[in-house]
Structure 1
Amino acid sequence: MEDLQQLVRECLANDRRSQEKLYRKFYPALFLLCRKFFSQPEEAVEVLNDGMLQVFTQLEKYDAAKGEFFNWVYTVVRNTALDKIRSRKWPSHNEIDEEVVTTQNNTLDKLAWEDIYKLLDALPPSTRAVCTLFYLEGFPVKDIAEMLKQSPGTVKWHLSETRSKLKPILEQHYLK
Structure 2
Amino acid sequence: MSVLQLEDIKELIKLCAANDRLGQEKLYRKFYPALFLLCRKFFPLQEDALEALNDGMLKVFKNIEKYSDEKGEFFNWVYTIVRNTALDKLRNVSQPGYMEVDDMIIPDNDNPLKALESADIYKLLDVLPPATRAICILFYLEGFSIPQIGEQLDISAGTIKWHLSEVRKRMKPVLLQHYKN
Q: Which band: TM-score by shorter chain? A: over 0.9
TM-align CA RMSD: 1.3
Unaligned runs of 5+ in 1: none
The reply to whether residue 40 of structure 1 matches residue 45 of structure 2 is yes
Unaligned runs of 5+ in 2: none
1:44 and 1:131 map into 2 onto residues whose CA distance is 16
The reply to whether residue 86 of structure 1 matches residue 91 of structure 2 is yes
Aligned counterparts, 1:106-117, within 5 A: 106-117=111-122
2:57 and 2:114 map into 1 onto residues whose CA distance is 28
Q: Structure 1 residues 53-62 or 70-79, which shifts more?
A: 53-62
2:71 and 2:82 map into 1 onto residues whose CA distance is 17
Q: Structure 1 residues 125-134 or 114-123, which shifts more?
A: 114-123
Aligned counterparts, 1:1-176, within 5 A: 3-97=8-102, 98-104=104-110, 106-171=111-176, 173-176=177-180
Asked if the contact 1:127/1:162 (under 8 Å) is kept, the reply is: yes
2:115 and 2:74 map into 1 onto residues whose CA distance is 29
2:125 and 2:107 map into 1 onto residues whose CA distance is 18
2:154 and 2:112 map into 1 onto residues whose CA distance is 28
Give SS of 1:103's match. Answer: coil
Structure 1 residue runs of 4 or more that deviate by more than 6 Å after TM superposition: none
Shift of 1:112: 3.1
Give SS of 1:175's match. Answer: helix
- Normalising by structure 1, what TM-score? 0.93
Asked if the contact 1:130/1:155 (under 8 Å) is kept, the reply is: yes
- Normalising by structure 2, what TM-score? 0.91
1:88 and 1:128 map into 2 onto residues whose CA distance is 13
1:40 and 1:114 map into 2 onto residues whose CA distance is 16
